[in-house]
Amino acid sequence: MAIIEMSDLGKRYGPRVAVDSVSFEVAEGEIFGVLGPNGAGKTTTVECVAGLRTPDRGSVSVLGRRPADVRASIGVQLQDSELPERMRVSEALSLFSSFYPEPADWSERLGLTEHLGVEFGRLSGGLKQRLSIALALVGSPRVAILDELTTGLDPQARRDTWSVIEEVRAAGVTILLVTHFMEEAERLCDRVAVFRDGRIVALDTPSALVSRVDGATRVRFVPSAALDVSLLEALPEVTGVSSVGEQLVVSGSEDLLHAVTSLLARRQIVARQLRVDQVSLDDAYVELTGGRHVEDH
């Protein structure tokens, strides 16, 4: 069942088109990633889901209703939104708790308990971020919108936050996650939508996006004996072969390694200094948004 439905959404600010014909559905319990360069329309899109903006065109519904009608079921963590300098962590939590019928306390799981008496203006960037996540979850939302969740966190805190997100999802919350970090999207998201110039240019599981890239796997080795390159090129799994000095670089599909090693074994050639590289979501993202090869728009 789709818990978030967006269809043909359009939004412009003056002459500038921020979002154009964006459609997607998010199923209950899913972690849905929103990727894309700055200015690609990610934030505008999630702000429409959060009920902060009214689209010019198209429709968006959360739990089958207008977002503004179900605010109590949507938890939001915004980019660049602060609290009064002198408000303490405990005050922020109790203030926000008072807005919701069934408040939940995430402060312990987010490591905020020792900082309850600290004023917002004195928190480090990482703690501000964690407080902002705690406030997004304070209303026991059915849908959580997290914009740039781990920006400003150190790698350890980032991993801790990821486990919190997995816990949140395990509790049945649907998550819309805007992120810059491919590692984060790969680790957390069931599906991701890649935005570019206000449109979705790809929408799939992270692994499917990766496999779209030509030559997703690359095998490098130095053969122990001379090897006819055309034999490699004849393999159906291979899309390209090049050589760098003695070293051969073979690229191709996911099953490439097995095909290459089988061929070498039959010829009784040993692959020395063997290395296998997998194209990551990072590479796929660059292809999809940077337009190096991608022509579709």
Partner 1 sequence: MLKIIEIEARLFVRDRLNSLFAILFPSLLLLVLGAIPALRTPDANFGGQRFIDSYMSALVVFTLVFIGLQRLPAVVATYREKGVLRRLSTTPMHPARLLAGQMVVNFAAVILSVLLLMVVGYVVFGVDLPHHPLGLACAVVLGGAGTFALGLVIAALAPNARAAGGWATVVFMLLMFFGGVYLPRFMLPSVIQAIGSYTPPGVEALQQAWLGTAPDWRHLAIMGLVSLVAGTVAARTFRWE
Which spans of this chain sit near partner 1 (rule: CB under 8 A)? Answer: 50-52, 71-72, 74, 76, 78, 80-84, 86-87, 91, 94-96, 98-100, 135, 139
The whole-angstrom separation of Cα 151 and Cα 12 is 27
Exposure string for 54-67, b = 16+ CB within 10 A, e = fewer: ebeebebbbbeeeb
Exposure string for 150-159, b = 16+ CB within 10 A, e = fewer: beebeeebbe
The sign of the dihedral angle between the CA atoms of 140, 26, 23, 129 is positive
List strand residue ranges (DSSP E) for the chain, in order: 2-13, 16-27, 31-35, 57-62, 74-77, 143-147, 174-178, 191-196, 199-204, 217-223, 238-244, 247-252, 271-278
259 with 250: CB under 8 angstroms?
no
Q: Considering the complex, state which of residue 83 and residue 250 has its C-beta at the smaller distance from partner 1.
A: 83
Give least dist CB 277 to partner 1, A. Answer: 42
Q: Considering the complex, state which of residue 29 and residue 103 has its C-beta at the smaller distance from partner 1.
A: 103
The first and second tokens of residue 256, run together, are: 């490439």
Q: Considering the complex, state which of residue 120 and residue 221 has its C-beta at the smaller distance from partner 1.
A: 120
Give least dist CB 95 to partner 1, A. Answer: 5
Give least dist CB 211 to partner 1, A. Answer: 37
Give least dist CB 7 to partner 1, A. Answer: 22
The whole-angstrom separation of Cα 200 and Cα 40 is 9
Give least dist CB 275 to partner 1, A. Answer: 47
The whole-angstrom separation of Cα 129 and Cα 132 is 5
Q: Considering the complex, state which of residue 74 and residue 153 has its C-beta at the smaller distance from partner 1.
A: 74
Q: Considering the complex, state which of residue 2 and residue 72 has its C-beta at the smaller distance from partner 1.
A: 72
Give least dist CB 284 to partner 1, A. Answer: 32
The whole-angstrom separation of Cα 92 and Cα 97 is 8
Q: Considering the complex, state which of residue 36 and residue 139 has its C-beta at the smaller distance from partner 1.
A: 139
The first and second tokens of residue 170, run together, are: 């395990």
Q: Which residues contact 286 (CB under 8 A, 6 or more apart)?
A: 292
Q: Considering the complex, state which of residue 119 and residue 183 has its C-beta at the smaller distance from partner 1.
A: 119
Give least dist CB 88 to partner 1, A. Answer: 8
